[in-house]
Chain A
Amino acid sequence: MSTVLIVKDLWVKYFTSSGVINAVSGVSFSLSRGEMLAVVGESGSGKSTLGYALLNMVPKPGRIVKGEILLDGVNILKLSEEELRKIRGSKISIVFQDPFTTLDPLRKIRDQFMEFLMEHGIDKNNALKIAREYIEAVGLTERVLDSYPHQLSGGQKQRVSIAMAISLNPSVVVADEPTTALDVVVQKQIMDLISDIKRRYSSSFILITHDLALALERADSVMVMYGGYVMEMANKNELAKNMAHPYTKALFESLPRIKQRTLPKYLTGYPPDLRNPPPGCIFHPRCPFASEKCRIMKPELVEISKGHFVACHFAR
């Protein structure tokens, strides 16, 4: 499998008036063709910022301060605004969390879809053909093209967003919590659709989610983030067998289980204040196993078995 995306030592900071927020700190990973990498973390873990950074569109006052993002071998952080515009949507695209706001309420789906395709240099006839093809590929009928967004349900809107995101056959599709705003039944349908598209077009996905169970079920590999740092990264089977980081374990234990009579366990405390992150391991204030070492020394991300990386002094 060829590698389509390599991220090296990526740092993103928000320069707000009340201080610098370290949203993404030294994240590195790579993604192969046809692979789905799930980025798991709670709110404020930097996972969405990472998603924006991959399109080099971190919202102000955020800035990518360091790192490389190689998309098909091209460092997109070195591209001009115009070159970036051309690769957005065609080489790398994103599906946003809330389908209720991502479509322009004043314009028909056909307009929006074709506008996008034509801005990427496709002529009118082909644009219509592609729009039809992908609207059907996501399980909608052509009639949807003639609708306004308010005439569609949340699930249908998300399907439209997905159709647009995959229609130019991008190397990487970032799905930023694509099911969070939808109800449970539709969530499953959308995830089935994404898995199906991944198989059919062998597209590479980055699935940003807060749901570890979803990640373990759908993704090929999983990256767990906390406070902007990668805590653990491994392929799905390895991670399911051997969760080495206390944070990953805590996330897993917080999942409700069938037949379990008691409430799931949960992690006490709050996510770290990324303006003044705690010294040492960023997770130590909430970690049940924290020792003196954790309070002083930041653990490196080490490979404990092949392809399984953990940032914890006690992992093995």
Chain B
Amino acid sequence: MSFALILKNPYIASGLAIVLIFVAFALFADVIAPYSPIDAAGPPLQPPNKLFVMGTDNLGRDMFSRIVYGSRIVLMIVAMSISLSGFIGSILGLVSGYIGGVLDKVLSFVMDSIYAFPSLILAIALSVALGPSPVNAAIAIAVVYVPTYFRMLRGHVISIKNEGYIEMAKALGLPTTRIILRHILPHVLKTLMIVFSMNSADAILTEAGLSFIGLTVQPPTPDWGFDLYKGRGFVLAGAWWLMAFPGLCITLLAFGFALISEGVSRIVGVRLR
């Protein structure tokens, strides 16, 4: 399957476009943002106008600049958490599924226990326990999503580990690590891809949740979730833009990842939900 073909998929193309806009925001924030995100740029609580396209907040900071810089925190936490959970969850899933036995029983039990918690509640609890910081938030979100990778990969590994080519690899005397990495991993890669893209959408919402209750960054650092929380006090005073734009961005980014995930699962031909 060529790269061009993947891009032709409408789901992936549109999802990727959305995500890439925010990635560009994060990478080129200094160029794109018209003002500083932490210093007052104009009068407070200005509605969107030509100078301030998304208005200003109660301290006169430009909302658009805060959104642009805020994408850094969101994307960083999400990238860290999904790579961490993907890495740990996949390794555990591969090993547990392949080796089986007591190890598999114990790991499955632990993972199912984690899975039994509502994800946001668990992430909040872990975040509080670790202390508020972007890295700790990323770890908390990673822990929450490890079981998803674990369960999906373990299931797929179990379904293929009795295939003839695995038996043959054993009979030819290949070491277990090599069998797992070279003969099993390539076959479960498609599962991994789907879980990965699906999880990123979830992770964004969880991250926003943590930010909303102030568990990621300290003010005045710009952050979508936290801005959403601060804007809440001014909505009744008519300053709708303080909540609308951060909320819209969170939704859009999650939607972008969801589109990619949908496209990937359509191409791979596996549906997980």
Report A's interface with B, CB cutoff 8 A.
55, 57, 59-60, 84-90, 93-94, 96, 98, 100-107, 115-116, 119-120, 161, 164
Q: Tell whether, in the assembled complex, residue B167 and residue A102 are in contact, meaning their CB atoms are under 8 Å apart.
A: yes
Which of B162, B169, B187 is the one whose CB lies under 8 Å from A106? B187
**Would you give 7 A-B contacts (Cβ < 8 Å), ordered by A?**
A85-B174, A88-B170, A88-B171, A89-B173, A94-B171, A96-B168, A104-B169
Give the size of the chain B interface in residues (CB under 8 angstroms).
Answer: 19
Known contacts A96-B164, A101-B163, A119-B178; A88/B187 CB under 8 A: no
Known contacts A106-B186, A115-B182, A119-B178; A98/B173 CB under 8 A: no
Report B's interface with A, CB cutoff 8 A.
100, 162-165, 167-175, 178, 182-183, 186-187
Q: Tell whether, in the assembled complex, residue B173 and residue A87 are in contact, meaning their CB atoms are under 8 Å apart.
A: yes
Which of B164, B168, B171, B175 is the one whose CB lies under 8 Å from A119? B175
Which of A85, A89, A96, A104 is the one whose CB lies under 8 Å from B183? A104
Known contacts A86-B173, A87-B173, A89-B172; A105/B165 CB under 8 A: yes
Q: Tell whether, in the assembled complex, residue A161 and residue B168 are in contact, meaning their CB atoms are under 8 Å apart.
A: yes
CB-CB under 8 A from A104, the residues of chain B are 165, 169, 183
Which of A88, A100, A102, A107 is the one whose CB lies under 8 Å from B173? A88
Closest 9 CB pairs of A and B: A101-B164, A88-B173, A89-B173, A89-B172, A102-B164, A104-B165, A102-B168, A94-B171, A85-B173
CB-CB under 8 A from A60, the residues of chain B are 100
A103 to B163 Cα, complex, angstroms: 10
A94 to B172 Cα, complex, angstroms: 8
Q: Tell whether, in the assembled complex, residue B165 and residue A103 are in contact, meaning their CB atoms are under 8 Å apart.
A: yes
CB-CB under 8 A from A96, the residues of chain B are 164, 167-168, 171
Which of A98, A105, A107, A164 is the one whose CB lies under 8 Å from B172? A164
A98 to B162 Cα, complex, angstroms: 13
B261 CB, min distance to chain A CBs, angstroms: 23
A106 to B189 Cα, complex, angstroms: 12
By beta carbon, the residue of chain B nearest A119 is B174
CB-CB under 8 A from B187, the residues of chain A are 106
A57 to B164 Cα, complex, angstroms: 14
A107 to B165 Cα, complex, angstroms: 11
B163 CB, min distance to chain A CBs, angstroms: 6
B164 CB, min distance to chain A CBs, angstroms: 3
